[in-house]
Amino acid sequence: MTLYINDNALMCKIFATTLQDEEQDWFHTLPPRSIRNFSEISLVFSKEYSFYRSIKKKSDHLFSMKNDPNESLHTYVKRFKVKKAKIVGCDNSIVCLAFRMGLLVDHPLSKELIMGENLSLENFYALVERHSLWEEEKRS
């Protein structure tokens, strides 16, 4: 990292590649364009992982997540990802199942997720993101 001390963008990208598991999940919950330089990412990361440590949660904690009828899919996804990021070693099939079970029963995405039972987590999130964008466009 010291070789790239003068290139903030590159240092941030390299930093992101050094993260694993829970830290990698946490990194992907950061809002886009919320970090402007390496000093900020260092500070945010230090706050999250040095003196602020939450009690470790288990996979079954995700099943307590429910999509509120007045909540957009986008907001539910965001809340879900934040909660998921705090669970170390969570099995992807449990993530998908917990998310699906938290959705409103009559939500169109719920039916589509049931049909795509063997989706990878990446494909699962891509499908959810497409529905979220579609829902946002429909509202505006």
DSSP assignments along 41-83, one per residue: HHHHHHIIIII--PPPB-GGGGGG----TTS-HHHHHHHHHHH
Q: Do 43 and 83 lie in a common domain?
A: no
CATH number of the structural domain spanning residue 113:
1.10.1200
Q: List all residues 6 or more positions away from 29 whose beta carbon is below 8 Å from its beta carbon.
A: 78, 81, 82, 85
Q: Do 40 and 66 lie in a common domain?
A: no
Q: Do 45 and 92 lie in a common domain?
A: no
pLDDT single digits (tens) 94-136: 888 898 899 888 887 887 777 766 677 788 888 888 888 888 8
Q: Do 87 and 129 lie in a common domain?
A: yes
**pLDDT for residue 5:** 67
What the block records as the tokens of 18 is: 């050094």
Alpha-carbon span 103 to 66, nearest angstrom = 6
Q: Do 38 and 80 lie in a common domain?
A: no
- Number of structural domains, the chain? 2
Q: Do 122 and 99 lie in a common domain?
A: yes
0.85 exceeded by pTM: no
pLDDT band at residue 60 using 50, 70 and 90 as cut-offs: confident
Q: Do 45 and 77 lie in a common domain?
A: no
Domain extent, residue 65, equals: 59-139
